């Protein structure tokens, strides 16, 4: 029995496996696009160099507008939340960063773990189809003529093995895609954590730069002229 004949004759055993395969394909396409194209900042070094320049010079409004140009980027979203709290104490800034990092981490991890579940489900559905095919073939052999038993048994075993093959054919690509995507997910989360550390450092540089400017003594202070002493008249 060919594979296409198996799909045609055992559609109700095949349909659940094909359905989870379609879901897996949709998740792989959507997550690959998000993790490799939408979420990363292409020039991360240039982004933070420009941000440092704006923040140190006190242009927080321009820095916020610069972050708005990177819509959909988790790192830019975390940086923007820190800039919105720049006038608050350091503890509140760090607390806001923890909330922002937690939110974007959930966005980055969204739906990727479903691929591992789909791989397990596809394997189990394939085994279910195998067992169902073997049961049907043995029942048919039990009521068949002796001359037809070998042909029916071979056809039933072929149908059962095709179910296993289809289940593994869905599960193996899912596990491979899951490994690549989870690796990319962990890398993006590490970049977001690093972005939070960088923006804290930039805000501290701005704070201490402002303090040092206030503490400087003006260099153009005019010295008071000394008063000439009048010599005493001798008696």
How confident is the model at residue 216, as a pLDDT?
A: 56
pLDDT, tens digit, 9 for 90 and up, residues 139-164? 767 766 666 767 777 777 777 788 88
Helix axes 114-142, 11-33, angle to 10 degrees: 170
Which has the higher per-residue pLDDT, 87 or 213?
87
Distance between CA atoms of residues 115 and 117, nearest Å:
5
Look over the chain and give the mean of its residue pLDDT values, rounded to a whole number: 83
What integer pLDDT is reported at residue 218 of this predicted model? 53
Instruction: Output the CA torsion sign for 66, 70, 76, 77.
Output: positive
Question: Does residue 26 have a pLDDT over 60?
Answer: yes
């Amino acid at each position: 029995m060919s594979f296409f004949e198996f799909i045609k004759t055992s559609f109700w055993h095949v349909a659940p496996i094909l359905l989870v395969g379609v879901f897996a394909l949709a998740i792989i396409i959507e997550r690959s696009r998000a993790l490799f194209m939408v979420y990363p900042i292409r020039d991360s070094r240039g982004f933070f160099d420009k941000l440092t320049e704006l923040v140190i010079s006190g242009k927080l409004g321009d820095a916020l507008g610069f972050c708005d140009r990177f819509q959909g980027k988790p790192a830019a979203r975390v940086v923007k939340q820190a800039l919105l709290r720049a006038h608050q104490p350091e503890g509140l800034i760090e607390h806001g960063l923890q909330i922002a990092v937690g939110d974007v981490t959930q966005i980055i991890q969204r739906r990727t773990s479903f691929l591992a579940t789909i791989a397990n489900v596809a394997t189990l559905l394939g085994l279910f189809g195998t067992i169902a095919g073997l049961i049907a073939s043995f029942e048919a052999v039990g009521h068949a003529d002796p001359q037809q038993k070998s042909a029916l048994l071979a056809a039933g075993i072929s149908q059962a093995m095709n179910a296993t093959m289809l289940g593994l054919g869905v599960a193996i690509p899912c596990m491979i895609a899951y490994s690549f995507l989870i690796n990319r997910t962990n890398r993006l989360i590490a970049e977001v954590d690093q972005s939070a550390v960088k923006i804290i450092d930039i805000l501290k540089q701005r704070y201490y730069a402002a303090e040092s400017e206030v503490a400087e003594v003006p260099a153009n202070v005019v010295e008071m002229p000394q008063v000439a002493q009048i010599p005493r008249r001798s008696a």
